[in-house]
Structure 1
Amino acid sequence: MPESDPDEGPDPAEGGTDGRSRRWDAHRAERRRALARAARRAVHHGGPDLSMDELAVAMETSKSIVYRYFADKAGLQSAVGNLVLEEMAEAFDAAAHADSDPRDRLRAMVGVYATMIDKSPHVYRFITRSGDGDEGASLSRFQATISASVEIPLRDRLAASGSDPRLAAAWAAGVVGFVRGVGDLWLSDTSDDHPPADTMADLMTDWLWRGAGAFHTPTSSSREHR
């Protein structure tokens, strides 16, 4: 049976900045986060095409409560995307600032992305589905956040080669678009010889770092820097 949520917050007549209002703001933020986690579980098991009615049932709440906290489906999509980014952020940050060469750091970040796709393809499709308005803005924020991490090792590589490190932002944006495009195609492959996430991460890194010459399945020797 869907839960009820009778707490509508403090009476505005009592003042919007008092302790009760701050406690309500904290409660509302935590409630919103809990609902976003429930939505993520629902999408993981039920797929990215669930309607708001189906999402509310799977989240064990009512549709009116979902709309109260997220306004629309795009808002819910954005909140789920933020959860995924938070979980990925630590791994991205560790890879970006690791004590290793730029290529290995890029490989680590591509691996984080490929693993996320592989472990929860429904959630990946849900948070990267493009659209207009808030939905499109949510996708742009998702990509921009990843680009910011990818830019760090690329800037180091450009500086080491004597190139303008300011080009790293454009290179990072291209990397994110490339990885997403390859990831989408990989996700749609249902053949028996569907390559695992580690293989795809190796391939994408080779393609990004070495260009068209990286046409074969990478091995440990092919990943050595030349």
Structure 2
Amino acid sequence: MSPITSGRGTDATQDDGGTAVRRRTSAATTPRPTTLSSPTESVDGRSTRWDTHREARRLELTHAARRMVHRRGPDVSMDDIAADLGTSKSILYRYFTDKVGLQNAVGEAVVGAIGASLRAAVENAPTPRAALHGMIDAYLAMIEHSPSVYYFVTRNTAIANAVAVPAQGDAARSAPLSSFLGSITAVVAEPFAQAVGSDDQLDVEAWAAGAVGFISGTGEWWLARLGEPGTPDREHIATRITAWLWAGPIGLLARERQRATDTENDTEG
């Protein structure tokens, strides 16, 4: 009798003459089903994980750069930022393409942070005028808290960094100031519409664009004079800007809205 080979088994039975017969059998007669991901699923999964990792890393670098600019000022170079973050300039270029890309990324982070403050100002305001004042104050608080970050995200360094901008990306890139103010306008428009009860999207967008430009210009004038004798504090300048805007386009829209409501009520009566 031969020995049983490891991994094999034998069944002993008898033939018709009573002679023992060995039947060689496999220990696993039925193959186990195996589930494998398709190549496409596997590649997609790796791609998704990489995209998630890349976005998380980009966000991490953005916030770190924002803190560094807050500490050291708006005139830092990409070399300065890379050294402070303990990485290389080539890594920054990998995630942001150039300094304009980093400025825009930091600007997006600032807009994301101020958006909640703008919405809260409107939600907690008893009147549309108070809502406007709250939004203006939130904007001024942002630039007062970190003038360095504000100047960093609104200065145009596209010309200085032109060699780093790929040709195929030229049309898609914008100056930091334009990008920042455009994002602020979009954030302001929604709570403004809520505050004055306007459903005219074009009026809302036009007002928001004009108001943000006015607030930005006045805010920069104020920011450049902070600490000088006679410069108004934030509350005073916010109140003044509110009055100027309310007496102009926002007041006009609010009054038109009220007249329309009064006319509708008279007609129903």
Q: TM-score range by the shorter chain?
A: 0.7 to 0.9
Map residues 106-117 of structure 1 onto 2, 5 A cutoff.
106-117=132-143
Contact 2:133-2:238 within 8 A present in 1 as well: yes
Residues paired across the two proteins, number: 196
Q: CA deviation at 1:99?
A: 5.6
State the alpha-carbon separation in 1 of the partners of residues 112 and 204 from structure 2.
Answer: 23
Q: 1:199 aligns with which of 218, 236, 247?
A: 236
Map residues 182-221 of structure 1 onto 2, 5 A cutoff.
182-189=218-225, 190-210=227-247
Map residues 85-124 of structure 1 onto 2, 5 A cutoff.
85-98=111-124, 100-124=126-150
Deviations 1:51-88 (A, max 9, x none): 11111112221111111111100110011011111111
Q: CA deviation at 1:202?
A: 1.5
AA aligned to 2:177 is L
Instruction: Find the structure with the greater CA-based Rg.
Output: 2
Is 2:174 the partner of 1:148? Answer: no
Give the structure 1 partner of residue 77 of structure 2. 51
AA aligned to 2:243 is D
Structure 1: 5+ residue runs without aligned partners?
1-12, 212-226
CA pair 101-42 structure 1, distance change in 2 beyond 3 A:
same
Deviations 1:66-117 (A, max 9, x none): 1111110011001101111111111122234446321111111111100001
Structure 2: 5+ residue runs without aligned partners?
1-38, 159-169, 249-269
AA aligned to 1:56 is A
Query: Helix, strand or coil: the match of 2:137?
Result: helix
State the alpha-carbon separation in 2 of the partners of residues 91 and 157 from structure 1.
Answer: 15
Give the structure 2 partner of residue 180 of structure 1. 216
Deviations 1:112-164 (A, max 9, x none): 1000010000000111224656242x43342233223433465467668xx96
Q: CA deviation at 1:165?
A: 6.8
Give the structure 2 partner of residue 67 of structure 1. 93
Aligned Cα RMSD in Å?
2.7
CA pair 149-69 structure 1, distance change in 2 beyond 3 A:
closer
State the alpha-carbon separation in 1 of the partners of residues 245 and 220 from structure 2.
Answer: 17
Give the structure 1 partner of residue 203 of structure 2. 167
State the alpha-carbon separation in 1 of the partners of residues 60 and 191 from structure 2.
Answer: 35
Normalised TM-score (structure 1): 0.75
Identity among equivalent pairs (%): 44
Q: 1:139 aligns with which of 162, 165, 177?
A: 177
State the alpha-carbon separation in 2 of the partners of residues 158 and 90 from structure 1.
Answer: 19
Query: Helix, strand or coil: the match of 1:169?
Result: helix
Normalised TM-score (structure 2): 0.64
AA aligned to 2:150 is Y
AA aligned to 1:177 is G
State the alpha-carbon separation in 2 of the partners of residues 31 and 157 from structure 1.
Answer: 37
